[in-house]
Every structure is written in structure tokens, then in C-alpha cells.
A and B are shown apart, each in its own frame.
Chain A
């Protein structure tokens, strides 16, 4: 087999230089930090791979990693089916199409830290609209500043609110690209709505869904701002996700060595999952 026109890679070179400056140089610096100890003032002492060993064996890191995987898993399992359902029920033509699209796009236009503070004010138990409604009208004991379960529900609902639109818009783009002939053929064969979804719509949405899931995985696995603004990692450590913990170590404690080691482990996980996912999803196309 032979892929076409490898020399096209030369046209990517300008981007490569740009990426070299904003990604590669920092990563190389992080690698250098991860094997050394510093007390500031640009003076470094060799430490070897001790930080990696220490981080990998620390309960704190393992707990944060577990919370991070749980968060990402819950996000994906809610947002992807919900996004597909919303995309399927959106109109394909007519007056309501732009209305739906703009409404869907609105949450994604709001900056992440603003989303965090909006939801913080919205869900505070005494003064927030939702918090007040749940506690004093419905009588549900809800306090995201005190109860780990409430805090988890809040950050997940917030992320679903913020990012389901992305899955919706991408799925919708996949759906409208299906020619009418497919539906007509399905109608002639008397296919049920489920069969139409399973054998026409889902295969046609596969490429965009791959991108959507990949983006949602990476974004939710690296999420920092929203939960930090909303709960600050609390109550206790219950919503301290990996990135929040990393920033605490790097900037709060100024332990640059362990923080660098931790971010490299973090990077390796993101890289592996993204690569695995992308490879498995696109494997069938190559055959």
C-alpha cells in the first residue's frame, strides 16, 4: 500500500514551527524540571527519576487520577447519547433551524471561568436560584459547598450544560449530510426508526462523533477552570481533579519537580487514550 503524496508534509512546516514554540519548548522544559530539584533562582540539582516514583506511589495522585477518570467517564456517558438525541430531534429545514443552532451554540460562547461563577451563584444553597429552589421549595437537602455528592452532581450538570452542544452541533452536521435517497430506500424496505438510526444515521455520524468524543475526552480530562471556580476542589478533596491537584503542587507548594513529573504522567495518559481511541475508531476505514 502507498499513501499519496508524502511531500505535502512540507506545507505543514510553518505550523510545526509555531507548535514548537508554544508546545514543544515548554514540554522540553517540563522534562528538564521533572528530573531536578529547585528552590528557585534558576538553580537546579539533579534528582533522577525520584519524583516519578514518588508521584506514582502517592495516594494523593492515585485518588486524583481516579476522580479524573470518573469525571470523564460520567461526562462522556451522559453527553454523547444526549447530544445524539438532541441532534436527531432538531428540525432539518425551515425557520427553526437557525434558532436551534444559535441556542445550542450559546453555552459554548461563554468563557470557562464565567461558567464557573455563573453556576456557583446559581447553585449556592441560600442565595442561588437552583440552590434555594431545591432546598426550600422541594425540600431536597442540597449543598454543593458541604456535600461531596452535591458537588459532583453540580460539576457534572455544569459540564453537560456547557459542552453537550458541541456533540449536538457535530452530530447535526453529520445528520444533514445524509442524502434523502438513503431515507427513501429505508422507507421502501419498511425499516423501523431504530434500524434507520443504527444502519444509516449512526454510520454516517461516525466520523464527526469520533471527533466529538475525542474533543470531549481531552477537554474533560484536562478540565480545570470550571470546577476550580465552582467548588475550588472541595468540599475536602472530593472534586480535586488531576489538573487542580497539579496546579496546587506546582504553584501552591512550588514543588516544580514533582509537578513536572506529574504533568508528564498526565500527558502520557492523555496521549495514550487519545491515540488508542482515534486508532480504534478509524481502524475500519483503513481496511
Chain B
């Protein structure tokens, strides 16, 4: 009899251990990179796309700042392709090339995209170094 009582007492204990206390609580909203950022706004932002544009505009701002100050002030050079480029041109070539690297990989190989990410970084380094 005692053994039975002990077993009965275990049931709510087991339920409690499995998170009985959390049943009525709402799940806490955690940050997600892919969830809508401002659901009531019309541009359908997500943190990922927001970060992407912050990156692009950030890079443009850095290069523009360099170009209009006396550190660079519109310095050009002729690279391996025979093109005369400034820093801004090189950023443009890098970004456009990156878009094509990713599109080509998506079309030919499909996801995931770690390999093209590496290729794109290598391409960017090459462009800023040599082009």
C-alpha cells in the first residue's frame, strides 16, 4: 500500500519535472534573423536583408569617406585588366561579381552557399589587390 502511495505521488512529480509549470506560460519571443523585422511596415524587412544593406551602405560610406578626404582623394590606378579604377569602382566590381558568383552557384549547384561565399571573398580580395 505504501509503495502504491509513493507511486501515485510520483505522477505529479514526473509531470512537474517535464515542465508542468510552463504549460500556461507563453513561449518567450526570441530574436530570429529571418522573422519579419517590423511586421506592420510595408517594406517587408527581415534582420538578414537589413544587415545586408547595412553592409553595402557601410562599405560605400567607408570608401566615400576615404575618397573625399586627403588620404585617397580620388587616387586611380591601372590594374591587371587594363581598367583605370578608384576604390569605389573596385567595390562595385566586387559586389557585382559576388552577385554573379552566388547566382551561378545557385543555378548550377544549388544550396548551401558556403563555397561561393569563399569564392566571393577571394574575388573581393583579388579585385581590391590587383584590379
- A residues near B (Cβ < 8 Å) are 1-4, 6-7, 9, 25, 28-29, 31-33, 35-36, 38, 42-44, 46, 48-50, 52-53, 56-57, 265, 268, 271-272, 275, 279, 283, 286
A1 touches B76 (CB 8 A): yes
Q: A1-B84, A49-B111, A275-B96 are in contact. Are A28 and B53 (CB under 8 A)?
A: yes
Smallest Cβ-Cβ distance to B45: which chain A residue:
A32
Between A and B, 10 residue pairs with Cβ closer than 8 Å are A6-B74, A35-B49, A36-B46, A46-B35, A49-B106, A50-B111, A52-B103, A53-B110, A56-B106, A275-B96
Smallest Cβ distance from A218 to chain B, in angstroms?
16
Smallest Cβ distance from B116 to chain A, in angstroms?
11
B46 touches A32 (CB 8 A): yes
Residues of A within 8 A of B39 (CB): 42-43
Smallest Cβ-Cβ distance to A36: which chain B residue:
B44
Mark each residue of chain B from 50 to 77: 1 if its CB lies under 8 Å from any CB of chain A, else 0: 0011000000000010011000011111
B106 touches A53 (CB 8 A): yes
A286 touches B75 (CB 8 A): no
Q: Which 5 pairs, one residue from A and one from B, show the smallest C-beta to C-beta distance?
A: A56-B107, A46-B34, A3-B74, A32-B44, A6-B74
Q: CA of A226 to CA of B110 in the docked complex: distance in angstroms?
A: 36
Residues of A within 8 A of B76 (CB): 1-3
B48: Cβ under 8 A from any A Cβ = yes
A6 touches B68 (CB 8 A): yes
Cross-interface CB contact of A1 among B42, B67, B77, cutoff 8 Å: B77
- Which of B45, B82, B83, B103 has the largest count of A CB atoms less than 10 A from its CB? B103
Q: How many A-B residue pairs have CB under 8 A?
A: 83
Smallest Cβ distance from A284 to chain B, in angstroms?
10
Residues of A within 8 A of B86 (CB): 3
B36: Cβ under 8 A from any A Cβ = yes
Smallest Cβ-Cβ distance to B86: which chain A residue:
A3
Smallest Cβ distance from A165 to chain B, in angstroms?
32
Smallest Cβ distance from B75 to chain A, in angstroms?
6
Residues of B within 8 A of A33 (CB): 44
Q: CA of A272 to CA of B64 in the docked complex: distance in angstroms?
A: 22
Q: CA of A4 to CA of B113 in the docked complex: distance in angstroms?
A: 42
Smallest Cβ distance from A276 to chain B, in angstroms?
10
A268 touches B100 (CB 8 A): yes
Residues of A within 8 A of B92 (CB): 275
A9 touches B75 (CB 8 A): no
B9: Cβ under 8 A from any A Cβ = no
Q: CA of A56 to CA of B103 in the docked complex: distance in angstroms?
A: 8
Supplied contacts A4-B74, A43-B39, A52-B106, 14 more A-B pairs, CB within 8 Å: A2-B73, A6-B68, A31-B49, A32-B44, A32-B49, A33-B44, A44-B44, A46-B34, A46-B46, A48-B34, A52-B103, A53-B110, A56-B103, A56-B106
Mark each residue of chain B from 71 to 100: 1 if its CB lies under 8 Å from any CB of chain A, else 0: 001111100001110100000100010011
B29: Cβ under 8 A from any A Cβ = no
Q: CA of A32 to CA of B53 in the docked complex: distance in angstroms?
A: 10
B43: Cβ under 8 A from any A Cβ = yes
